[in-house]
């Protein structure tokens, strides 16, 4: 509830700061925002593209949210995503199977690949108390170079040295049904996979004994140990699930939004997952909503750039500012409790109902 | 004699709570004035106001007859007000001198003048009978000595008004006597003291007057010499309290827990517990007495499985359990009320109901095939919370962090007793609680004993050990000094044993 207000405040302040930035650089903020928003939402195709952009973010955001909820700071989502995508691509380019089976095998490969990449830092943390931030960052670079070597060596494209061959149609998540529904957008079955993942993760976190254990370990390792919960196993399990989700994000990126894999790039969605999870208050539904918001900004900035002379970097700056505010949410929490305390003092005089606060409350319910 | 400090009609509100409501405290020149109240009565808030950490909403403060606004602790220091905190604020690998001068260093040009400072400290130490070695390192001196360093810090800064915040909580009985002597010396030298405490015996021993506060209000100020402990306790709690714990003699049965030659390493990898043997029988309460840090944690953690044994055997109902996991031991019927309730005992960000099933969440009826069953958890939690009178804002769905310390503790005790353990290990079960809750918890422990369960009580409060236990084992430096029957011993004897003196040796 309070967290939803914080997230919305972060967004509002980020947008205000962006408007100031546009105004200072001599552009019209209202026009800028009109094109930014309509670029993301103005017709079915653009909505489809927004959702497609959001898809890998949903999965990496879930990955991060899951690790945050269980007390881990898995910064290795880029590597896990890349490795998951690499494994899926390898399966897709190597095996010839009926489509349903092939896609299932690719999804499995993506999940296992991502999970494996997170398993190592998880094990190091459990056994030797190596901090996961350090070890997952290292794993990112290991993956970067593995792919750098692996793609040209085994899956080289016909023309370019820096990309893999294109996946055959049946080995991608694109489906005519969704493409047609959104007027030729590149939205694909990855979106469905991501929504299923939101539901499953939400279920695990809130309804299962596994979720109960992992959250207990995250909140208070000592108390979990006292209660007989296998703390080390919990840490490894959390990392496996978190990494697997990031791996699925790789599948939706490299075999859904794109159809091949490039070398020399750590996917930015892995890092953006941190922001998505923060803005979504580490709640699965919050992650879904904040991913879509990021999707709007990312897919609208090109349109804004084309229609006005506002540079696309402004959109990136707005995103960065929003992330900054979301990450410093403790400030807002203080601000909110300070305001409510001030209100409490004036309790005798009934205040006018605050329109914004009401809206925020309603959105908050969805986000919880 | 005039008042050195007057705090008149002080009111301080926090969101939703009135911490101090019209409190008046007047400190005479040269007296020891006790401030008595239960936890949460508002003692700390009042003293924080005097020390400049909070501003009162109403009321005024006079120091030496002059009305004054104490905007921050620096102002308090300048006014000669000093505070010995309950938890010492010392740098472990600095010397006594370095710690004392920290923040007001003497300089000779650009370099520290430690020598002059040390000389001054030595002189002060002699004047007040503190016996502090200015060159010793903090980590090498006892807790009692560290407290004297804290006192010395105030004297070094020429404090005239000294506030002691629960100073005896960490001391042995002998060290407490020493502290009392020091306090009297300070008075003789013209200082004035406010002593915050909830221990009536200490007030009786050392204080001149006592102001009692309850729920943020002043109940009254009494002359200690002409007021009984009973009367002060009633003022503090607001009703009649019994100090004596009512209990029948124990009827010990079979041995439930047998510890043989336990050796346990502590976190510094040295033996925290060495060659320790003990038996606990069904239907008796065995108390473990000792000064903090003498092997109690190692002992408890070894029995519950939180810490590995170096060697030795732990048998429970005749079976060796030293290889079992923590969870297996819980399922065997070992309950544990941990020393640090917030670190070990509770997941503070979980709700009460989630905490009530912390050890059994995965068993029926609370879960089926890996899915939690909220309804079963709720009704179980409601039952425990009701029968142990745990009070919270929103009942079972309250976040535990929002509960008061006493209610958190009652929740843990309820959870552990509800599991109906054959062996209940209670570590400091009443630390920081008020008289009413203490009474209640002691009753529940004795009830367990009377049901034929074995209880191991570890406590730093000697009164608690003496009143509740049937048998007492004393620990010193990780070793068993001796075992005595509670009915046949007294505070003096246990105190000496806590200092490592074998029974019959010292007298």
Inter-chain touch B347–A229, beta carbons under 8 Å: no
- Asked if A251 contacts A114 with a C-beta cutoff of 8 angstroms, the reply is no
> How high does pLDDT run on average in chain B?
88
Residue B320 or B15, more confident: B320
Give the pLDDT confidence of A344-366 residue by residue, as tens digits. 554 433 333 333 333 333 333 33
Residue B446 has a pLDDT of: 94
Please name the residue that has the structure tokens 């003293």.
Answer: B47
The SS3 of residue B391 is coil
Is B40 found in the same domain as B155?
A: yes
- DSSP structure class, residue B318: T
B340 lies in some domain: no
Inter-chain touch B358–A223, beta carbons under 8 Å: yes
Is B305 found in the same domain as B194?
A: no
Residues near B368 by beta carbon (within 8 Å), at least 6 away in sequence: none
Inter-chain touch A209–B371, beta carbons under 8 Å: yes
Give the pLDDT confidence of B220-276 residue by residue, as tens digits. 999 999 998 888 888 887 777 666 677 888 888 999 999 999 999 987 788 889 999
Residue A194 has a pLDDT of: 96
Residue A356 has a pLDDT of: 35
Q: What percent of chain A has pLDDT over 70?
A: 92
**Closest residue, chain A, to B373 (C-alpha):** A207
Statement: residue A280 has pLDDT above 80: yes
Residue B260 bridge partners (DSSP):
B313
Give CA separation, A61 vs A78, A85, A119, B170, in Å. Answer: 11, 16, 18, 48
- Mark which of B373, B398, B414 sits at the end of a domain: B414
Is B272 found in the same domain as B227?
A: no
**A3 at B interface, C-beta within 8 A:** no
B359 lies in some domain: yes
In this prediction the ipTM stands at 0.80
**A26 at B interface, C-beta within 8 A:** no
Is B271 found in the same domain as B248?
A: yes
Cα angle B469, B471, B476 (rounded to 5 degrees) comes to: 100
Which residues on chain B are in Cβ contact (under 8 Å) with A347? none
Q: Which of B16, B361, B372 sits opposite A207 (nearest CB)?
A: B372
Is B32 found in the same domain as B102?
A: yes
Which residue range(s) make up the domain with B313? 242-333+421-507
Residue B171 or A24, more confident: A24
Dist CA B166 CA B180 (whole Å)? 13
Which residues on chain B are in Cβ contact (under 8 Å) with A208? 370-372
Dist CA A175 CA A210 (whole Å)? 35
Is B248 found in the same domain as B227?
A: no
Is B275 found in the same domain as B225?
A: no
Dist CA B232 CA B207 (whole Å)? 13
Give the pLDDT confidence of B404-442 residue by residue, as tens digits. 777 888 899 999 999 999 999 999 998 767 777 788 889
Question: How far off is chain B from A32, nearest CA to CA, in Å?
Answer: 43
Q: Which of B327, B328, B347 sits opposite A216 (nearest CB)?
A: B347
B146 lies in some domain: yes
**pLDDT-based confidence at residue A4 (cuts at 50, 70, 90):** confident
Average of per-residue pLDDT across B445-460: 93
- Asked if B170 contacts B143 with a C-beta cutoff of 8 angstroms, the reply is yes
Inter-chain touch A210–B370, beta carbons under 8 Å: yes
Dist CA A291 CA A277 (whole Å)? 9
Which residues on chain A are in Cβ contact (under 8 Å) with B335? none
Average of per-residue pLDDT across B55-61: 91
- Mark which of B210, B237, B264 sits at the end of a domain: B237
Residue A19 or A343, more confident: A19
- Mark which of B237, B271, B288 sits at the end of a domain: B237
Signed CA dihedral, B327, B329, B335, B337: sign only: negative
Residue B158 bridge partners (DSSP):
none
Is B405 found in the same domain as B430?
A: no
Is B134 found in the same domain as B8?
A: yes
Average of per-residue pLDDT across B370-393: 91
The SS3 of residue A98 is coil
Inter-chain touch A209–B304, beta carbons under 8 Å: no
Paired sense of beta strands B192-197 and B161-165, if any: parallel
B338 lies in some domain: no
Average of per-residue pLDDT across B187-196: 92
Q: How many domains does chain B have?
A: 3
B341 lies in some domain: no
Residue B503 has a pLDDT of: 66
- Asked if B477 contacts B457 with a C-beta cutoff of 8 angstroms, the reply is no
Is B193 found in the same domain as B164?
A: yes
**A192 at B interface, C-beta within 8 A:** no
Give the pLDDT confidence of B205-218 residue by residue, as tens digits. 999 999 999 888 89
Statement: residue B165 has pLDDT above 60: yes
Dist CA B447 CA B247 (whole Å)? 9
- Return the minimum-mean-pLDDT range out of A94-108, A119-133, A298-312, B328-342: A298-312
Give the pLDDT confidence of A242-270 residue by residue, as tens digits. 999 999 999 999 999 998 999 999 999 99
B221 lies in some domain: yes
Residue A2 or A354, more confident: A2
Per-residue DSSP letters for A120-141? HHHHHHHHH---HHHHHHHHHH
Dist CA B405 CA B340 (whole Å)? 11
Cα–Cα nearest to B216, from B413, B23, B422, B463: B23
Statement: residue A303 has pLDDT above 60: yes
Q: What is the 3-state secondary structure (H, E, C) of B470-491?
A: CEEEEEECCEEEEEEEHHHCCH
**pLDDT-based confidence at residue A342 (cuts at 50, 70, 90):** low
Tokens of B480: 């068993």
Inter-chain touch A222–B344, beta carbons under 8 Å: yes
Cα–Cα nearest to A10, from A270, A243, A289: A289
Residue B292 or B78, more confident: B78
Helical H runs in B28-107? 43-50, 73-78, 96-101
Tokens of B505: 């040796």
Is B207 found in the same domain as B147?
A: yes
Give the pLDDT confidence of A199-216 residue by residue, as tens digits. 999 999 999 999 999 999
Cα–Cα nearest to A325, from A10, A41, A4: A10
Statement: residue B127 has pLDDT above 90: no
Q: What percent of chain B has pLDDT over 90?
A: 48
CATH number of residue B454's parent domain: 3.40.50.300
Helical H runs in B40-142? 43-50, 73-78, 96-101, 114-128
Give CA separation, B399 vs A1, A7, B395, B458, in Å. Answer: 14, 22, 9, 28
Tokens of A231: 């703390």
Statement: residue B156 has pLDDT above 70: yes
Residue B243 has a pLDDT of: 64
**B105 Rama class: left (phi>0) / alpha (psi -120 to 50) / beta:** beta
Which residues on chain B are in Cβ contact (under 8 Å) with A220? 343, 346-349
Residue B18 bridge partners (DSSP):
B13
Give CA separation, B151 vs A75, B82, B142, in Å. Answer: 48, 9, 14
Residue B505 has a pLDDT of: 56
Paired sense of beta strands B271-281 and B255-265, if any: antiparallel
Dist CA B292 CA A109 (whole Å)? 55
Statement: residue A368 has pLDDT above 80: no
Q: Which residues of B touch A (CB under 8 A)?
A: 15-16, 304, 306, 325-330, 336, 338, 343-350, 354, 358-359, 361-362, 367, 370-372
**pLDDT-based confidence at residue A237 (cuts at 50, 70, 90):** very high
Q: What percent of chain A has pLDDT over 90?
A: 53
Tokens of A164: 């893999």
Is B109 found in the same domain as B220?
A: yes
Inter-chain touch A216–B358, beta carbons under 8 Å: yes
**pLDDT-based confidence at residue A333 (cuts at 50, 70, 90):** confident
Residue B498 has a pLDDT of: 85
- C-alpha count within 13 angstroms, C-beta hemisphere, residue B486: 22
Q: Which of B343, B354, B370 sits opposite A208 (nearest CB)?
A: B370
């Amino acid at each position: 509830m309070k967290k939803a207000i914080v997230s919305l405040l972060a967004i509002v302040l980020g947008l205000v700061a962006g408007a100031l930035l546009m105004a200072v650089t001599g552009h019209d903020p209202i026009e800028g925002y009109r094109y930014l928003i309509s670029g993301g939402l103005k017709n079915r195709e653009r909505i489809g593209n927004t959702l497609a952009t959001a898809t890998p973010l949903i999965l990496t955001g879930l990955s991060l949210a899951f690790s945050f909820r269980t007390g881990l700071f898995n910064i290795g989502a880029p590597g896990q995503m890349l490795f998951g995508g690499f494994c899926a691509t390898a399966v897709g380019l190597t095996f010839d199977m009926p489509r349903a089976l092939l896609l299932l095998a690719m999804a499995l490969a993506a999940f296992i690949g991502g999970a494996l990449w997170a398993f190592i830092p998880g094990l190091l943390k459990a056994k030797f108390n190596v901090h996961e931030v350090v070890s997952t960052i290292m794993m990112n670079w290991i993956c970067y170079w593995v792919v750098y070597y692996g793609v040209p060596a085994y899956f080289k494209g016909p023309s370019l040295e820096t990309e893999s061959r294109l996946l055959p149609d049946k080995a991608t998540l694109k489906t005519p049904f969704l493409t047609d529904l959104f007027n030729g957008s590149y939205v694909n079955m990855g979106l469905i996979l991501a929504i299923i993942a939101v539901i499953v993760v939400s279920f695990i976190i809130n309804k299962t004994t596994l979720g109960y254990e992992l959250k207990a370990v995250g909140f208070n390792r000592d108390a979990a140990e006292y209660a007989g919960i296998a703390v080390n196993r919990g840490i490894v399990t959390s990392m496996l699930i978190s990494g697997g989700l990031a791996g699925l994000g790789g599948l939706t990126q490299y075999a859904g939004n794109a159809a091949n894999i490039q070398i020399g790039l750590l996917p930015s969605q892995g890092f953006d997952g941190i922001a998505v999870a923060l803005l979504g208050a580490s709640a699965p539904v919050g992650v879904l909503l904040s991913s879509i918001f990021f999707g709007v900004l990312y897919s609208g900035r090109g349109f804004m750039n084309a229609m006005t002379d506002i540079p696309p970097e402004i959109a990136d700056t707005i995103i960065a500012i929003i992330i900054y505010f979301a990450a410093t949410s403790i400030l807002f929490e203080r601000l909110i409790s300070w305001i409510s305390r001030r209100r409490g003092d004036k309790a005798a005089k009934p205040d006018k109902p605050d329109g914004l606060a009401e809206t925020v409350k309603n959105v908050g319910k969805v986000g919880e | 004699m005039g008042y050195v400090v007057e705090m008149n009609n002080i009111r301080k509100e926090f969101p939703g709570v009135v911490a101090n409501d019209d409190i008046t405290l007047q400190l005479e020149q040269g007296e020891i004035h006790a401030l008595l109240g239960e936890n949460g009565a508002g003692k700390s808030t009042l003293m924080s106001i005097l020390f400049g950490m909070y501003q009162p909403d109403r009321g005024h403060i006079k120091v030496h007859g002059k009305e004054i606004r104490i905007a921050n602790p620096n102002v308090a220091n300048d006014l000669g007000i000093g505070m010995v905190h309950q938890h010492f604020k010392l740098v472990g690998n600095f010397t006594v001198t370095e710690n004392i001068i920290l923040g007001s260093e003497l300089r000779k040009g650009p370099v520290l003048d430690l020598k002059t400072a040390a000389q001054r400290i030595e002189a002060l130490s002699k004047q007040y009978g503190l016996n502090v070695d200015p060159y010793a390192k903090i980590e090498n001196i006892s807790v009692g000595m560290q407290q004297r360093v804290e006192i010395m810090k105030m004297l070094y800064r020429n404090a005239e008004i000294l506030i002691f915040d629960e100073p005896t909580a960490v001391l042995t009985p002998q060290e407490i006597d020493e502290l009392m002597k020091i306090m009297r010396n300070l008075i003789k030298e013209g200082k004035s003291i406010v002593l915050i405490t909830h221990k009536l015996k200490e007030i009786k021993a050392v204080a001149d007057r006592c102001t009692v506060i309850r729920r943020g209000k002043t109940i009254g100020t009494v002359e200690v010499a002409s007021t009984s402990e009973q009367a002060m306790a009633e003022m503090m709690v607001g009703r009649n309290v019994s100090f004596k714990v009512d209990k029948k003699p124990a009827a010990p049965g079979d041995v439930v827990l047998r510890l043989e030659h336990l050796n346990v390493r502590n976190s510094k990898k040295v033996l925290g517990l060495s060659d320790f043997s003990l038996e606990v029988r069904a239907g008796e309460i065995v108390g473990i007495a000792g000064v903090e840090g003498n092997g109690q944690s190692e002992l408890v953690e070894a029995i519950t499985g939180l810490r590995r044994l170096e060697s030795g055997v732990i048998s429970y109902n005749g079976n060796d359990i030293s290889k079992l996991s923590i969870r297996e031991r819980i399922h065997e019927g070992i309950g544990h009320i941990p020393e640090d309730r917030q670190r070990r005992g509770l997941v503070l960000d979980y709700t009460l109901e989630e905490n009530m099933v912390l050890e059994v969440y995965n068993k029926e009826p609370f879960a089926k095939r890996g899915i939690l069953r909220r309804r079963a958890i709720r009704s179980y939690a409601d039952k425990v919370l009701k029968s142990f009178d745990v009070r919270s804002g929103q009942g079972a769905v309250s976040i535990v962090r929002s509960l008061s310390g006493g209610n958190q503790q009652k929740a843990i005790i309820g959870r552990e007793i509800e599991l109906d353990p054959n062996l209940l290990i209670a570590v400091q079960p009443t630390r920081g609680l008020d008289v009413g809750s203490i009474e209640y918890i002691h009753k529940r422990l004795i009830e367990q004993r009377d049901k034929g369960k074995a209880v191991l009580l570890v406590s730093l409060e000697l009164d608690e050990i003496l009143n509740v236990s049937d048998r007492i084992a004393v620990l010193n430096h990780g070793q068993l000094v001796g075992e005595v029957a509670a009915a046949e011993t007294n505070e003096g004897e246990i105190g000496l044993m806590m200092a490592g003196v074998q029974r019959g040796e010292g007298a």
